Structure 1
Amino acid sequence: MLRIIALIIIFILFSMCLDNHKSGESMEKGKILMVIAPKDFRDEELFIPMEVFKEHGYGVDVVSTQKGTCVGMLGGKIEVDKTIYEINPNDYIAIVIPGGIGSKEYLWNNEKLLELVREFYRENKTVAAICLSPVVLARAGVLKDKKATVFPTKEAIEELKKYGAEYVDEGVVIDGKIVTGKSPEYAKDFALAIIKTLG
């Protein structure tokens, strides 16, 4: 009887060790920082990549320019308890910026976000943006002489070219550690491309 109890205890301890090892593996993959506009971010460009990242074992932190409830263009909501002003880039392996019409209003000219993008780029970490948000990368200066795509409005395309990017009319474009996506339809492909750059 004692032997059976001992074996059960050993089995339980072994299972716990396996569980810890698995969670350790997922933690080792690192965390991805996603930055959204507090209002009118594009829902699919946040929620689909976030799910893909988690499925592949990455941690995800979602931040904005302010704390509270962020609301997407399609009505999706997410609670954000940290702002970009509290971020330490050393805690993350990539920065990902979903788009939506709120990107132009809240993100294009945000100096703190532009500096964060530059820091990730300098550290050779993955920098990614989709829809209207590749303009943030352009204004941060990291798209110079790089191939990139963006939501095809005249203004957005001109912004990319103005800052030295080579505009490519494709769904997803990878150039080194920089990933850009065109529109919500490519949200999953965009996420998978980001994972590819994380190696």
Structure 2
Amino acid sequence: MATVAVVFAPGCEEVEGLTVVDVLRRMGIDTKMVGLEGMKVPGAHGIELTCDEVLGDQLLDYDVVAFPGGRGGAEKLRDNDQLMKIMQKRQKAGKWDAAMCAAPIALARYGVLDGHDYTCFPGFDQQISKEVPTARFHEDITVVDVAGKVITSRGPATALAYAYQIAEILGYDTKQIKHEMLYDYLAKEI
């Protein structure tokens, strides 16, 4: 069975992280909430999140490690040297990583976006392009860079697409869950 870790940092965009956890758990994918600094994480909008684990080397074992955005949370992810070392080891091991909204700034600092395609919340691409000029920004809802094993997405409204993309990269068929959650209806109506 596939395993996914969603890393929550104080100031994270709650809907982005919880949507991934919800969708993947509905699909039967073993998904853990990992606190960057502890088991209790205050989100950007006053929602306290209770995680399953705290950051450690166990992240090396997950099939995908995913980051929600939110400026404050993304900056904490970016600035955490322990997490950076773990994510760099994951990249060298050929593991998939994912980040959405502002969180690709963390992947940029870690060197994970070097020479790869990505997307992010509008404006953060300018910051990333200064740090990693070889990274290629796209305005798509989600971007998958197969060579770099990186999945990225834009912001709160794209959290479902991001979650489904993670599941699909892991080899899961998302057609049924998209129908059950009315995503197919939403995609057709917008």
Q: Do the two structures share a fold, i.e. TM-score over 0.5?
A: yes
Matched, 1:94 2:61: no
Unpaired segments of 5 or more residues in structure 2? 172-190
Structure 1 residue aligned with 2:25: 54
Q: What is the one-letter code of the residue matched to 1:159? A: Q
Q: What SS does structure 2 have at the residue aligned with 1:95? A: strand
1:82 match: 53
Aligned residues: 167
Displacement, 1:109? Answer: 1.4
Distance 2:126 2:166 in 1: 25
1:10 alignment counterpart: none
Query: Residues of 1 paired with 2:113 and 2:70: CA distance?
Result: 20
Q: Which residue of 2 aligns with 1:145?
A: 115
2:102 to 108, 112, 132: 132
Normalized per residue, which structure has more helix?
Answer: 1
Picking from 78, 103, 119, the partner of 1:108 is 78
In the alignment, the residues of structure 1 paired with residue 74 and residue 161 of structure 2 have an alpha-carbon distance, to the nearest angstrom, of 23
Please report the RMSD computed on the Cα atoms of aligned residues, expressed in angstroms: 1.6
Q: Following TM superposition, by how much is the alpha carbon of 1:68 offset from its aligned partner in structure 2, in angstroms?
A: 3.6
Deviations 1:121-152 (A, max 9, x none): 22222100001001111111111111101111
Residue 179 in structure 1 maps to residue 151 in structure 2: yes
Deviates further, 48-57 or 180-189: 48-57
In 2, Cα distance between the equivalents of 1:116 and 1:159? 23
Whole-angstrom CA distance in 2 between matches of 1:66 and 1:89: 14
Amino acid at match of 1:192: Y
Partner of 2:168: 196
Deviation at 1:81, TM superposition (A): 5.4
CA deviation string 1:54-112 (max 9, x = no partner):
1121111212222142122223221135322x232343111001111222441111111
The 5-angstrom pairing of residues 22-37 of structure 1 reads 29-37=1-9
Aligned residue identity for 1:157: D
**Residue 158 (str. 1) matches residue 129 (str. 2):** no
> In the aligned structure 2, how far is the partner of 1:169 from the partner of 1:103?
22
Percent sequence identity over aligned pairs: 26
Match of 1:45 in 2: 16
Larger Rg: 1
Q: Distance in 1 between matches of 2:150 and 2:114?
A: 11
TM-score (norm 1): 0.78
Structure 1 residues 81 and 32: CA distance shift in structure 2, 3 A: closer
Distance 1:51 1:104 in 2: 20
Query: Cα deviations across residues 17-54 of structure 1 (Å, max 9, x unaligned)?
Result: xxxxxxxxxxxx232111111x2210110111101111
Amino acid at match of 1:175: D
CA drift at 1:178 = 0.8
Unaligned runs of 5+ in 1: 1-28
